[in-house]
Amino acid sequence: MPRRFQILRKFVKYTVSGIALTAVGATSFLGYKIYQESRPVHQIKQSPTFPNGEKKKSLVILGSGWGAISLLKNLDTTLYNVVLVSPRNYFLFTPLLPSVPTGTIDMRSIIEPVRAITSRCPGEVLYLEAEAIDIDPTQNKLTVQQSTTVHSGHSGQSTSSTCTRIGQEHGMDTITTDLNYDYLVVSIGAQPSTFGIPGVAENSIFVKEVNDSVKIKKKLIDLVEAANLLPENDPERKRLLQVLVCGGGPTGVETAGEIQDYIDQDLKKWMPQIAKDMKVTLVESQPVVLHTFSPKLVDFTNHIFKDTNINLITNSRIVEVDNTHASIFNKKDHTTTPMPYGMLIWATGNSTRNFVSRLIETIPEQTNRRGFLVNGKLKLNGSSNIFALGDCTITKYPATAQVAFQQGCFLAKYFGKLQKVESLRYKMQHDQSQQPPSEFSLKRLHKLEKALPEFVYNYRGSLAYIGSEKAVADVAVGSWSNVAAGGNLTYLFWRSAYVMMCLSIKNQVLVCFDWIKVYLFGRDCSRE
């Protein structure tokens, strides 16, 4: 056998062996990670004191979004008695939420149960499925409430730390509990804002929670099936097939792109007569969509929208809505035009939640009604033990998941350093051999207090899917440059980045399986 064939044979043999070993190794690692995540770790139970007699302080975290969960995952929960309070008993991976209404992603693939997260913390974390409704910051007392259709049968007896009461509100049983805290972290985000525009709240669907995506999916099916019963020249059929998206940020753009993909890639195969008449329109008050991205990416997005027949209306805003038409005001020529629609998706604006407004009213230093004012340590102005992060704050940073995630990581580090300060203070106060405290101890305490960090935001870039299997990425390279890219390769990068950002191996696997299913079988838009 010629030498070159022997070399080729060896090369093929070793290549196949290498691929096989890599596959076995990757499968084993994946299996180990799945096994590890599916079982709770051994946790240190909560206790009133540390072994040395020092009081273990109570840390109450409100919310189960990006800020709260990143804080929880990075915090040494053995240092505090941690209580997590949220009416939503799961973490939602919001960047992929626009993919849910069209069946690209199953909603279960992007949620992670809170108790699965808390069970992996080193110290026990108490989770309460409830909503904070009131607070007394002078007494460090928080009131939380759960609405339920099932009576708990709770005796209503008080304990040293809680007082539980059972009542009724809006025909549902309510369980109200008082919690005492030493430190409170508010990370409850914001709720959608209608800007006081008449008819928006009654006639639009938001893109904020999983339930919103389910509503959009159901409405989308209703529109298609209702239009299919009407003749082609019927004006009502044309109205039903108009999908109007308000908001030209990443959420609005991705929602419009996903719906257009559903029309072009799935509806066109099964119902071509409906697909050719269905229209997606995006309305943005700014001169351009994705205005925080590079100008060349904005131009690229406009080009893709034009190619995929997404109707883009900029420099315009919706000023009034009824159940069939939206009045669109053009800021250039000051004209108002009624636009018929079958579904209005509202993907713009944030407003404060009731609890945030209530807490702001109790602290004179909180002078901005749109959110909490915080210092560099994310501590509320006018408070010594209440912290806030994410969309419920007013800072110079954008209201994005990236900011909230980094703020949560920062607070985890901050509370770790803060406990070192508290431990040294306790030791200095109770060390009988050093009364008064030595100069060395005082210097060490001063050094630890001075080392308490302040939050610094590290912008890492922005991603957005724009439809037609294309995405745009404005990625920061260090602190000196940005890389702007768009297209099919960027789409693969977008997918890879979001898979890596998923909270658990389970989510990563399920999201990848969903994408494979869509590639092989198309989107599942059947009724649930």
Indicate if the pLDDT at residue 508 is higher than 90. Answer: yes
Cα first-last separation, the chain: 63
Identify the CA nearest to 164 among candidates 180, 173, 176: 176
**DSSP annotation string for 362-419:** H-TT---TTSB-B-TTSBBTT-SSEEE-GGGB--SS-SSHHHHHHHHHHHHHHHHHHH
Q: Is residue 486 a contact partner of residue 472, using CB atoms and an 8 Å limit?
A: yes
CATH 3.50.50.100 fits 205-350+459-521, yes or no: yes
Q: What are phi and psi of 24, to 5 degrees?
A: -65, -45
- Tokens linked to 308: 């995929």
Q: Is residue 57 a contact partner of residue 81, using CB atoms and an 8 Å limit?
A: yes
Alpha carbon distance 107, 210 (integer Å): 7
Amino acid at position 155, single letter: S
CATH number of the 58-190+352-451 domain: 3.50.50.100
Q: What is the pLDDT of residue 432?
A: 59
Query: What's the pLDDT tens digit per position in 469-501?
Result: 999 999 987 766 788 999 999 999 999 999 999
- What mean pLDDT is predicted for residues 199-217? 95
| pLDDT band of 158, cuts 50, 70, 90 | very low
Q: Out of 172-181, 255-264, 344-353, 461-470, pick the least confident.
A: 172-181
Q: What is the pLDDT of residue 526?
A: 76
Domain range summary for the chain, segments of one domain joined by +: 58-190+352-451, 205-350+459-521
Indicate if the pLDDT at residue 50 is higher than 70. Answer: yes
Domains 58-190+352-451 and 205-350+459-521 in one fold:
yes
More confident residue, 496 or 16: 496
Query: What's the pLDDT tens digit per position in 510-526?
Result: 999 999 999 999 998 77
Identify the CA nearest to 326 among candidates 194, 191, 237, 230: 194
Pairing of strands 172-180, 316-321: unpaired
Whether the predicted model's global pTM rises above the 0.95 cut: no
Q: Is residue 93 a contact partner of residue 52, using CB atoms and an 8 Å limit?
A: no
Cα 35 to Cα 27, 28, 43, 506: the distances in Å are 12, 10, 17, 10
Is the backbone of residue 378 left (phi > 0), alpha (psi -120 to 50) or beta? left
Q: What angle do CA 242, 248, 249 make, to 5 degrees?
A: 135
